[in-house]
C-alpha cells in the first residue's frame, strides 16, 4: 500500500488524515448492537478519508487504489450495525455523502446518486404521488447507497418484500477497482451481486428504484392481553388483501415496557402486548373493524410522525427497536431469526414459551420470496459468545432460520447467498481484493469470534 502516491494522485479530491475525523468515519452503529463485534473491531481504523464530489472522482479513486494497492471502504451515513462500515485493513474510507440528488425519474422509477438521504428521496417524490417501496427505520439519516449495500429489509417490507426480492431494486451502476476502472450497469437479479455485499465488490455510483403509491399513512398501536392473540391479529391484518399496510410489528409486553422510557410513556398500558402498525388512510375503517373483531384496543392512532412521542412510530421497529431498548439497558442483545411461513404461529408460540425466562420476544412482519413471515428474536442480557450460540441453536431447533448479526463478514452473516457466482463477480470487479478486504468472507487473520456462531443462514427460493 503506497498511501503517499495515492494521495498525491488524488490531490484535487478532498481528503484528510485528521485522526478524529478518520476515527469517526471508521465507525458505525455496530458497538451499540453487538458486544462481540465491539471487541472484534475495537482496533480497526482507516488511514484517511477521501470524499468524492462527483462520479468522475469515484472513477479516479478506483483507478488510483488499484495502482497503489490501497484498500477502500465506501461509506454513507454510518447507520449500519453489523460491522459493514468498519474497515479491517486500513486504507481509505470513501465518503460518498457528497454524491447526492435525483439523476432521472419516470412514472415508474427514480434514479439517484448513492449519497442521497432516503428521506430526501421521498420528499422529492411525494408531491407527485409516489414514494420508495421500502425504507429503513433510519430513513431520516440513512443514504440510499448504504441501504442497498448493507441493508436488506425495512418499512414497506410487509407489503413489498425484502430488497433481495427481484424487482425491488431496478438497476445499480457500479465502478470496478482496476487500473482502468469499468462502469458496469446491473439489472434484474444481477443487482443482488452488490446488494448486501458491504461495498466489497465495487463502488456504487447510481441506483434506480421502483416507485410505490404515496398514501397518507396512519400510525397506530393496538394492545392485547394475550400474546398469541396479538400475533394472530397482526398476521391477519398483514394478510388481508383489502387492507394496505406499511408496517406490522409485535412486541411482547416486557419489550414494549422498554419503550415507555423512550417516548411512548403515557400511551402504553402495563403488561399489554402491542402491535405497531402503519396503515394507508383508505384502510383505516377496515383496520378499526378488525381490531374490534380480535378484541384489541387502539391506544394510539394518528398521522405519520405526528404523535406526541416526537418521532415516527417506525422508529420503534426493526433495528431501531433494539436501539431504543438499549437506551434503557445497554447490556441487552439479540440476533435475527426468520420464523417459517409454514409453521409461523407454532414456531412463534414455542419460542415465546422457550425463552420466557430469558427475555421478551419481538418481531416485524415481512414478505420474503412471496411468503408472509416474521423476523425477530428474544432480547436478553449478554453473557458470552458461547451463550449467544446456545440461544441461536435453541431458536433453530424450533425451525427458525438464523442469520448472524455478530460477524462482520458477508458470507458468515447468512443473509446473502454467497456461491460461485458471487465469488466470480467479486474477482471481476475487484481483482486486487481492495474493496473492504476481509469483509466478503472470513479470512485467516480477519475472522472474529462471532464468525463461528452456529447460524444456519437464510434460504431463498430459486428463480
Q: Is 452 exposed, middle or buried (0-12, 13-18, 19+ CB in 10 A)?
A: middle
pLDDT digits 0-9 by tens, 402-454:
999 999 899 998 999 899 999 999 999 999 999 999 889 987 666 778 888 99
Average pLDDT, the chain: 95
Nearest to 40 by CA among 410, 333, 385: 385
Task: Name the grid cell of 29.
Answer: 452503529
- The β-bridge partners of 131 are 212
Q: What is the second-level CATH architecture of the domain 217-402?
A: 3-Layer(aba) Sandwich (3.40)
The pLDDT score that the predictor gives to residue 444 is 62
Percent share of the chain, pLDDT over 90: 87
Q: Which of 297, 355, 382 is nearest to 36 (CA)?
A: 382
**E-only strand ranges, 214-244:** 217-224
Show the cell assigned to 395.
431458536
The beta-strand segments (E) located in 179-256 are: 183-187, 203-213, 217-224, 245-251
Neighbours of 93 (CB within 10 A): 28
* 378 vs 29, higher pLDDT: 378
For every residue of 105-129, DSSP letters joined together read E-SSEEEE-TT-BHHHHHHHHGGGT
The pLDDT tens digits for 301-310 are 999 999 999 9
Q: How far apart are CA 10 and CA 341, in angstroms?
A: 51
Nearest by Cα to 46 from 81, 8, 96, 94: 94
Q: Model pTM?
A: 0.95
Which letter does DSSP use for residue 385 in this model?
Answer: H
> Which residues in 150-272 belong to E strands, given as ranges?
171-175, 183-187, 203-213, 217-224, 245-251
List phi, psi (to 5°) of 110.
Answer: -135, 140
Burial 227-241 (b: 16+ CB within 10 A, else e): beebbebbbebbeee
pLDDT of residue 33: 87
User: What is the rounded distance in angstroms from the CA atom of residue 285 to the CA atom of residue 277?
Assistant: 14
Phi, psi of 405, rounded to the nearest 5 degrees: -90, 15
pLDDT score for 29: 84
Percent of the chain scoring above 70 in pLDDT = 99
3-class DSSP state of 25: helix
Give me the count of residues in the chain: 463
pLDDT above 80 for 462: no
Supply 411's cell numbers.
458470507
Amino acid at each position: 500500500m503506497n498511501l503517499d502516491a495515492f494521495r498525491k494522485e488524488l490531490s484535487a479530491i478532498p481528503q484528510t488524515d485528521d485522526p478524529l475525523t478518520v476515527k469517526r468515519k471508521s465507525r458505525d452503529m455496530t458497538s451499540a448492537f453487538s458486544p462481540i463485534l465491539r471487541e472484534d473491531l475495537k482496533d480497526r481504523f482507516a488511514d484517511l478519508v477521501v470524499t468524492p464530489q462527483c462520479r468522475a472522482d469515484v472513477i479516479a479513486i478506483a483507478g488510483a487504489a488499484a495502482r497503489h494497492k490501497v484498500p477502500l471502504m465506501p461509506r454513507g451515513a454510518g447507520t449500519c450495525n453489523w460491522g459493514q462500515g468498519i474497515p479491517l485493513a486500513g486504507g481509505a474510507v470513501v465518503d460518498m455523502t457528497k454524491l447526492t440528488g435525483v439523476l432521472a425519474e419516470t412514472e415508474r422509477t427514480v434514479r439517484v446518486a448513492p449519497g442521497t438521504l432516503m428521506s430526501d428521496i421521498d420528499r422529492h417524490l411525494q408531491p407527485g404521488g409516489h414514494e420508495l417501496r421500502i425504507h429503513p427505520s433510519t430513513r431520516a439519516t440513512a443514504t440510499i447507497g448504504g441501504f442497498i449495500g448493507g441493508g436488506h429489509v425495512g418499512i414497506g417490507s410487509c407489503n413489498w418484500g425484502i430488497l433481495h426480492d427481484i424487482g425491488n431494486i431496478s438497476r445499480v451502476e457500479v465502478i470496478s477497482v482496476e487500473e482502468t476502472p469499468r462502469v458496469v450497469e446491473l439489472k434484474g437479479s444481477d443487482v443482488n451481486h452488490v446488494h448486501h455485499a458491504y461495498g466489497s465488490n465495487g463502488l456504487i455510483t447510481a441506483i434506480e428504484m421502483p416507485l410505490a403509491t404515496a398514501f397518507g399513512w396512519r400510525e397506530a398501536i393496538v394492545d392485547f392481553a394475550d400474546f398469541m392473540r396479538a400475533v394472530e391479529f397482526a398476521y391477519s391484518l398483514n394478510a388481508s388483501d383489502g387492507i394496505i399496510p406499511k408496517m406490522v410489528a409485535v412486541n411482547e409486553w416486557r419489550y414494549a415496557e422498554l419503550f415507555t422510557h423512550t417516548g411512548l410513556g403515557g400511551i402504553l398500558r402495563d403488561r399489554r402486548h402491542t402491535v405497531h402498525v402503519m396503515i394507508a388512510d383508505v384502510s383505516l375503517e377496515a383496520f378499526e373493524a378488525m381490531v374490534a373483531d380480535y378484541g384489541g384496543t387502539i391506544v394510539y392512532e394518528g398521522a405519520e410522525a405526528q404523535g406526541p412521542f416526537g418521532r415516527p412510530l417506525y422508529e420503534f421497529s426493526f433495528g431501531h427497536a433494539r436501539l431504543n431498548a438499549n437506551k434503557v439497558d445497554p447490556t441487552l442483545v439479540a440476533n435475527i431469526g426468520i420464523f417459517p411461513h409454514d409453521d409461523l404461529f407454532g414456531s412463534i408460540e414455542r419460542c415465546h414459551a422457550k425463552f420466557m425466562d430469558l427475555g421478551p420476544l419481538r418481531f416485524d412482519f415481512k414478505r420474503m420470496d412471496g411468503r408472509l413471515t416474521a423476523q425477530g428474536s428474544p432480547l436478553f442480557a449478554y453473557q458470552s459468545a458461547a451463550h449467544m450460540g446456545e440461544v441461536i441453536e435453541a431458536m433453530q431447533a424450533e425451525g427458525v432460520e438464523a442469520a448472524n448479526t455478530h460477524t462482520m463478514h458477508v458470507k458468515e452473516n447468512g443473509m446473502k447467498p454467497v456461491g460461485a457466482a458471487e465469488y466470480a463477480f467479486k474477482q471481476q470487479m475487484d481483482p486486487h481484493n481492495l474493496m473492504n478486504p476481509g469483509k466478503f468472507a472470513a479470512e485467516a487473520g480477519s475472522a472474529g469470534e462471532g464468525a463461528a456462531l452456529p447460524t444456519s443462514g437464510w434460504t431463498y427460493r430459486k428463480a
